[in-house]
Every structure is written in C-alpha cells, then in structure tokens.
C-alpha cells in the first residue's frame, strides 16, 4: 500500500484509542565504550490507517519500571492484588497493574506533596510543605518512592494514596522516517535516560522501557501527533539548514528521506553534534551515503569530548558564518531540533550573531531579520 492510499482513510486509532504497533527492529546506535545509549526503533503501522508527515511526532503510551513498582509495594507493605479505582469513571484495576500501567510514579508535583502531608504523621513533611523554596527543591529529581519511604508512617489507606496520583501521560518522539520511503512503518531515535539523584539511579519511564524491555516482535501502544509548526518547505527548490545534535537528528532523517523520494532539487546542510565521533555519530554511514548521492550537500559535525576545547554545533555555525548567511539570503529554511534548555538558546543567539556580523546589521536589526524568518515559516524549532 502506498503512503497516499493510507491518507484517504481516516484511522480508527488515536491518542484515546492507541494502536498496538509491532516492533520490527530495536538497536543501539552508539558504539562500544560510549557513555550514551540511543535506540533506533522501527515499528510496523500495518493495519493502523495512520499517516504522518516529516516533522510529526509519535506518541507512545509507556508503562513504569516493574522494579520501581515492586519497591513501592514493599515499602508500603501493600497487597499487589488489592483492587483500586483508577479514574473518575470508577474503573478499577489490581494495584500492581494500576501502578505499572496507569499512574505517574516518577514525577512529584507540588500538589501531590501538599495532599500527602495531610495523610502523614510526619512533622518534617508538614514543615517542608510550609516552605515554598524547600518544597521546590525537594520535588526536583525525586519520585513517589522517595516521598512514601521518607515521610511515613502514613495514616492513610492504599486507596487514599492512589487517589493522589496523576495518570501516566504518553511520551512524544519526533518521527525519524518518511512514510513515503517506509510505507506502513515509523522509525524513532530515542536516547535512554539514566542518572543518579538522591542516592538512587533514576530512569526515564519511556526511554528505558524502550531500551531495556522492548524486544522485536513485542507490541507497543502508539498514536500520531501532528506538528504543523515543523514542516519541510512546500516547494522542492528551497534550500534547508538543519541543526540537530544527539537525538535531535530524528526529524532530519525523516526530512532527508522525504526529499530523496520527492527528488527535491534544493540543497541540504546538516549540523550534527554529540560527544565522540568514534561512538556517537548517529546514522553516520547512512548520512554519508546521502552526501555521496547529493541529497545532502554538507555535513558539519561537532564532537564535544574529542578535543580539549569543547566544540558544539553553534561553533561550527560560526566557522561557516559567511556561507550560512548566504544560504539564508538565498531563501533557505533554518530548522533546530533538540534540547530547549541550552542548545536551542545557544543556536538562536549564534544565529543572531551571524546575521549581525555577515549582514553588517545592528543587534536590533539582526533580531528583526530572524523574527522575519520566523514569520515567513523559514525559522522553525522542535525543542523539548
């Protein structure tokens, strides 16, 4: 079935009724010795009726780490088979299944801690709730297990504590494939999140599920989330500049595949970055093939741990400032995908620096130039 055929029939599946997609492939993209684990996952959409465009996201309905659920049951001495209410419709599940598949366990909100204080005999918890700054610091990087184990004894039933919990939300990932190039499939690029905090290893709910507990042949509940604010140019002649370090490469793999199929004539320039070239150059062979085929015009890669001075994508942009500005002047579209906290801000400021320098403009005029690109849809960001 062609991608165009899929688009004609509205799907029966959605966020509220996700499709069980079968895992076709799940491999680690990082080389041996890397400090990272980035999974390339291929899912079958056969029978879903889904269609998507480059720039869209796939929603995954995850489940919690079984080890975390077991620890909560042990700490609270709860019976795993106790029936609990999971929503306002009074639907019920056995406690273990509810904690595993239905409730958010890894994020603590101010509201949950405040409500928990009313169910605890702990003076420390009541003092914590009374101090806004301490409360903010406490909730950062801690989870339900921390709260339950640190502030007992609890004068509350399992039903009262479960009633505090929020529903486990789906996680959204940029699609890393073109439907035209991979009919009835969707690909993802997911970095497994592991870190130490407050004396315990913490794991990303969905990313670690995908890395450690999702095998080929398994199924996973998914839906398509349209993202109309991150789209390829409507015409095939426009040049594109893509900045996607780490897993930010995902939508640009989708862009490049789409432009290969559509035989786009515009040039394409990719800025990629990660820690080490030997182990962390995601999709390297594939990208080099696109370069040889002329689908990609240029790749500039920055690897922060390979040199004494850390080099990031924005440094490569500065090194190519004259050419980059010339592309913008010729009508190129500029895209950024990845970390909102640091990378996207640095790239944004570097872009203004380049426009100011190469366009011989004042700072104010350079900012106005970039705002103009944004208004024309020629500066698009998918940041998280």
Q: 233 in a domain, yes or no?
A: no
Q: What is the DSSP letter of 262?
A: T
pLDDT tens for each residue of 120-173: 989 999 999 999 999 999 999 999 999 999 998 898 999 999 999 999 999 999
Same domain for 348 and 248 = yes
* 113: pLDDT strictly greater than 60: yes
The two tokens of residue 175 are: 């699609």
Q: 230 in a domain, yes or no?
A: no
Judged on CB neighbours under 10 Å (0-12, 13-18, 19+), 104 is middle
Per-residue pLDDT, 9: 60
Q: What is the DSSP letter of 193?
A: P
- What sign for the dihedral angle of Cα 351, 356, 357, 360? positive
Mean pLDDT of the chain: 95
* 254: pLDDT strictly greater than 60: yes
Same domain for 374 and 247 = yes
Q: 234 in a domain, yes or no?
A: no
Q: Which domain holds residue 327?
A: 240-383
pLDDT tens for each residue of 8-40: 567 899 999 999 999 999 999 999 999 999 999
The two tokens of residue 246 are: 């780490």
The closest alpha carbon to 15, from 67, 58, 52, belongs to 58
Q: Which whole number is the average pLDDT over 329-353?
A: 97
Same domain for 180 and 157 = no
Measured from the Cβ of residue 236, the count of other Cβ atoms closer than 10 Å reads 12
Indicate the number of domains in the chain: 3
Q: Give the domain CATH number at 374.
A: 3.40.50.80
Predicted structure pTM score: 0.93
Q: 232 in a domain, yes or no?
A: no
Q: Give the domain CATH number at 23.
A: 2.40.30.10
Q: Which long-range contacts (CB under 8 A, 24 or more apart) does 152-160 make?
A: 152/120, 152/121, 152/122, 153/120, 153/121, 154/76, 154/119, 154/120, 154/121, 155/119, 155/120, 155/121, 156/119, 156/120, 158/76, 158/78, 158/82, 158/84, 158/95, 159/84, 159/85, 160/119
Contact 276, 303 (CB under 8 A): yes
**Cα–Cα distance measured from residue 103 to residue 135, given in angstroms and rounded to the nearest whole number:** 22
Same domain for 180 and 129 = no
Q: Which whole number is the average pLDDT over 295-317?
A: 94
Same domain for 132 and 259 = no
**Domain termination site, one of 144, 162, 180:** 162
Q: 235 in a domain, yes or no?
A: no
């Amino acid at each position: 079935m062609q991608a165009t055929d899929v688009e004609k029939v509205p799907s029966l599946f959605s966020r509220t009724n996700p499709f069980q997609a079968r895992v076709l492939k799940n491999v680690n993209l990082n080389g041996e010795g890397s400090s990272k684990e980035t999974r390339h996952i291929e899912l079958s959409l056969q029978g879903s009726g889904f269609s998507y465009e480059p720039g869209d996201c796939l929603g995954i309905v995850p489940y919690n780490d079984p080890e975390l659920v077991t620890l909560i049951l042990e700490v609270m001495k709860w019976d795993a088979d106790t029936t609990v209410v999971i929503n306002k419709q009074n639907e019920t599940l056995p406690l273990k299944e509810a904690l595993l598949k239905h409730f958010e366990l890894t994020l603590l909100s101010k509201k949950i801690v405040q409500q928990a204080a009313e169910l605890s005999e702990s003076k420390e918890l009541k003092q914590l709730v009374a101090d806004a700054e301490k409360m903010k610091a406490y909730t950062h990087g801690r989870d339900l297990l921390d709260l339950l184990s640190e502030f007992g004894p609890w004068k509350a039933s399992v039903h009262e504590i479960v009633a505090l919990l929020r529903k486990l939300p789906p996680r959204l990932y940029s699609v890393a494939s073109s439907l035209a190039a991979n009919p009835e499939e969707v690909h993802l690029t997911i970095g497994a999140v592991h870190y130490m905090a407050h004396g315990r290893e913490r794991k990303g709910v969905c990313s670690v599920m995908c890395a450690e507990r999702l095998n080929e042949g398994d199924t996973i509940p998914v839906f398509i989330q349209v993202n109309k604010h991150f789209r390829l140019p409507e015409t095939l002649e426009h040049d594109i500049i893509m900045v996607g370090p780490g897993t930010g490469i995902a939508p640009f793999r989708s862009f490049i595949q789409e432009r290969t199929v559509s035989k786009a004539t515009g040039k394409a320039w990719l800025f990629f970055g990660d820690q080490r070239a030997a182990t962390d150059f995601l999709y390297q062979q594939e990208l080099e093939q696109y370069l040889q085929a002329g689908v990609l015009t240029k790749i500039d890669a920055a690897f922060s741990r390979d040199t004494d001075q850390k080099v990031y994508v924005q440094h490569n942009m500065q090194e190519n400032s004259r050419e980059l500005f010339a592309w913008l002047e010729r009508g190129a579209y500029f895209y950024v995908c990845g970390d909102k906290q640091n990378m996207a801000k640095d790239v944004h400021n570097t872009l203004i620096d380049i426009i100011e320098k190469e366009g011989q403009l004042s700072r104010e005029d350079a900012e106005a130039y970039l705002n103009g690109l944004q208004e024309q849809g020629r500066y698009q960001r998918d940041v998280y």
